[in-house]
Structure 1
Amino acid sequence: MALASSACGGDEGAGSGTDVEVERSDLPSPLQAGEGSCQLPGGPLSFNELKGPLENLPVACVPSWTEEQLIDGFAAIRDTRVQELALPEQPGFLRRIPWLEPENGCEERAPAATYFLHQWGYPTPWFARVQSRAGAGLVLQTENEPDGEVSWSHHVAPVVRVGGQLMILDPAIEPGGPLPIAAWLSRFVVGDVDMAVCRDHADEQGCFDAVPAAPSLPNMTNSQGLRGRLITEWRVQELLGRDPYRSLGDCPPWVTTCPPEPASDPNQPPTIQRFASDKTDMPVWYPIYVIGDNFVPGLTTVRMTGPGVDELAPISAINKRRILIETMYPSGVYQVTASNGAHASQAMSLTID
């Protein structure tokens, strides 16, 4: 959900609770909530036709959940690995909704969450969408991005109503549990924003359809939809120096009961698997991520040999599985070797474009 690109009715289901209606006098038409009721629009409406400040959101229109549903439903969308999200190249490795790639993909994550919650018998959440005004931007500090921060123009997540309060289900922002909407906004809003709650669409083009449709899973057939977000999430784990089979498997960062990985062995050579500059398939240029295993902070060195260069590269950051090099090298083909003292990896070819 980069700054220049897309982002980032209550069905009765399992354990559904009693609705708690909220009386408000400041709700905008055409979502005017009356005494104990909510008037839904009679035709299609976009986000831009409904957007406004937080205090004008039509609380009574949002589907009602019980506290138990809130706790259980949040844990379900955060933790459940499902066959529908397994990638064709890894058919036996079930995946979760890609919460660990917060920079992009909220417009895929939010519909995926509502789809699965609907399938699992929960009242179908709506979408809370926030958009910055005048390019002010939305900024999230997060340990799940290599830069430690992401910037958005807009963001969206599932929203439900519990006891008269709007609650957001967004493990990309807070994996510890659901957040009241004001607390959710406080995590990333740095300027004036517009908001809307939308029943049918998570993106800017739509909010309400004339006739509601059952939730559907976003595109899993090409790299532009949810499949692309899952691929990028895997690459992000590598750039962070995590083992994707752990962090995207049974040991995501919010699980504290997993045994630690074995420490690097300084008496064994490192291995180099590949190089990257970012989370896409763009050519390697700057910075250089060396992705592999058995790197030892304070010991491992990286030798770059190429056009007019034969040196130990300055290392900016290192952990067991990733080395970051922020020196800008000339274009060309290099041979790269990582060493733990006298124990060296095989040389690997690196093309810098």
Structure 2
Amino acid sequence: MRQSFRALTSVFCVAAAALASSACGGDEGPYSGPDPDLGSSDAEALLGACQLPDGPRTFDQQKGPPEALNGDCVPTWTAAQLSAGFAAIRDERLLTSSMQPGFMRRIPWLAVDNGCEERAQAASYFLDQWNYPPTYFARVRSKPGKSLSLDTVHEPDGNVVWSHHVAPVVQVGGQLMVLDPAIDPEGPLPIVEWRSRFSVPSDIDVALCRDHAVGTGCFDAAPAEPSLPSTAPGGIMDIRLMTEWRVQEILGRDPYRVLGDCPPWEDGCAPEPTPNPNLPPVVRGFASDQYGTPVWVPIYVIGDNFVEGLTTVHITGDGVDELAPIDAINMRSILIYKEYPLGDYQVTVYNGALASPTVPLTLAW
């Protein structure tokens, strides 16, 4: 947090000491340049509007039903800051993955199934680096026996199911606005609409947390410095970036295109090329999911120049010699649901008589 916020927090705490016996947890106001000269009446008015917790608080201590949510302490932004800040966290390419170290990446908004905590932390960190006012974290957790569910074109199954979700939240014109391009890349959402995309009010608990996007914590004794999840090879953000890449491959997208200059929300890109039936297919690998687990069921054939109605997949090995049944196909991905015995196979993909190089496939559990 910037020095001006820390100084303002100190002013509030001095004023609060004369007004109440409880300690003051930190500033929640917008950044406004030099520290203001607050008299006791100003501090009293601000403290009356925002009652911070008396010391550290966990999510369970802060949680409540959606209708009881109190956003008085959430920092205030202008509409211009909201619009520009949302576009920046959605579009800026400031990260790298150990898989493609020379290819700059955005926060992994297109890996919707997992990683909301790291996305929220990264967004808060970069906004702080760009001198925006602080954010809070809007955290939603399903009650026992319930779940959160989102329909999305960015997931191979078309739907994700969560136990919890989180994104940065700010206050604009007295309304809580959530910055979550994973839910809607078109712009920030009022918190009620944001929640409605993936939850039922009676099934959830909600908390507005200043210091923690993940874990049991919500408020620390003093405001926490925004931090970027580890981008080192094998670090949690590196893993999220690798997962996002695999998701695009499974969906049949060109990762260099969709994670580069032409994300799904970009309207100015030229259309994707179409497959050429007069050229052979290309096979780059196989997957069963986006997490890098061993391949078994289903089998995604990842490659290029697959032609619906023309392309076939020939599998041999372990007593198998057949054309595999294709359940779904697009230019870069073929889905095979048939369960084959575990073992080693050879796969050749054809466009008519035009064959790809034969590629080994190991099915394992």
Query: Normalization by structure 2: what TM-score?
Result: 0.86
Q: Hey, what does 1:199 align to over in structure 2? A: 210
Q: Hey, what does 1:21 align to over in structure 2? A: none
1:90 positional shift: 2.5
Which letter maps to 1:352?
L
Q: Hey, what does 1:310 align to over in structure 2? A: 321
1:135 positional shift: 2.4
Paired residue for 1:45, among 57, 60, 70?
57
Match status 1:179 vs 2:200: no
1:88 positional shift: 3.7
Q: Hey, what does 1:4 align to over in structure 2? A: none
Match status 1:319 vs 2:330: yes
Q: Is the 8 A contact 2:75 2:133 kept in 1?
A: yes
Q: Is the 8 A contact 2:348 2:356 kept in 1?
A: yes
Q: Is the 8 A contact 1:135 1:153 kept in 2?
A: no
Q: Hey, what does 2:362 align to over in structure 1? A: 351
Please give the per-residue CA displacement for 1:244-265, whole angstroms capped at 9, x wherever unaligned: 1011111111112110122111
Matches within 5 A, 1:36-115: 37-82=49-94, 85-115=95-125
Which letter maps to 1:44?
P
Please give the per-residue CA displacement for 1:12-61, whole angstroms capped at 9, x wherever unaligned: 169xxxxxxxxxxxxxxxxxx98862121231101000100112222211
Q: Hey, what does 2:31 align to over in structure 1? A: 12
Q: Is the 8 A contact 2:136 2:209 kept in 1?
A: yes
Secondary structure of 1:257's match?
coil
**Consecutive aligned runs of 4 or more in structure 1 exceeding 4 Å deviation:** 33-36
Q: Is the 8 A contact 1:13 1:121 kept in 2?
A: no
Please give the per-residue CA displacement for 1:74-95, whole angstroms capped at 9, x wherever unaligned: 111001101xx11244332111
Matches within 5 A, 1:227-266: 227-266=238-277
Which letter maps to 1:206?
G
Match status 1:297 vs 2:316: no
1:342 positional shift: 1.1
Paired residue for 2:225, among 214, 218, 221?
214
Q: Is the 8 A contact 2:349 2:355 kept in 1?
A: yes
Matches within 5 A, 1:127-138: 127-138=137-148
Mark the CA change 1:213 to 1:89 in structure 2 (over 3 Å): closer, same or farther: same
- Bigger CA radius of gyration: 2
Paired residue for 2:278, among 267, 271, 285?
267
1:11 positional shift: 4.8
Instruction: Choose 223-232 or 177-186, whichever is displaced more.
Output: 223-232
Match status 1:166 vs 2:185: no
Paired residue for 2:155, among 134, 145, 168?
145
Q: Is the 8 A contact 1:223 1:229 kept in 2?
A: no
Which letter maps to 1:136?
K
Equivalent-residue separation in structure 2 for 1:305 and 1:99 (angstroms): 38
Which letter maps to 2:345?
Y
Q: Hey, what does 1:123 align to over in structure 2? A: 133
Q: Hey, what does 2:8 align to over in structure 1? A: none
Please give the per-residue CA displacement for 1:164-210, whole angstroms capped at 9, x wherever unaligned: 11000000001111000110011000451100000000013110000
Equivalent-residue separation in structure 2 for 1:55 and 1:129 (angstroms): 14
Structure 1 alignment gaps of length 5 or more: 1-8, 15-32
Secondary structure of 2:49's match?
coil
Q: Give RMSD over aligned pairs.
A: 1.6
Q: How many residues align?
A: 325
Q: Is the 8 A contact 2:303 2:333 kept in 1?
A: yes
Equivalent-residue separation in structure 2 for 1:150 and 1:294 (angstroms): 29
Which letter maps to 1:185?
R
Equivalent-residue separation in structure 2 for 1:189 and 1:70 (angstroms): 24
Equivalent-residue separation in structure 1 for 2:181 and 2:145 (angstroms): 25
Which letter maps to 1:55?
E
Q: Is the 8 A contact 2:230 2:237 kept in 1?
A: yes
Equivalent-residue separation in structure 1 for 2:220 and 2:106 (angstroms): 28
Mark the CA change 1:42 to 1:35 in structure 2 (over 3 Å): closer, same or farther: closer
Secondary structure of 1:61's match?
coil
Report % sequence identity: 63
Secondary structure of 2:192's match?
helix
Secondary structure of 2:219's match?
coil
Query: Normalization by structure 1: what TM-score?
Result: 0.89
Which letter maps to 1:71?
S
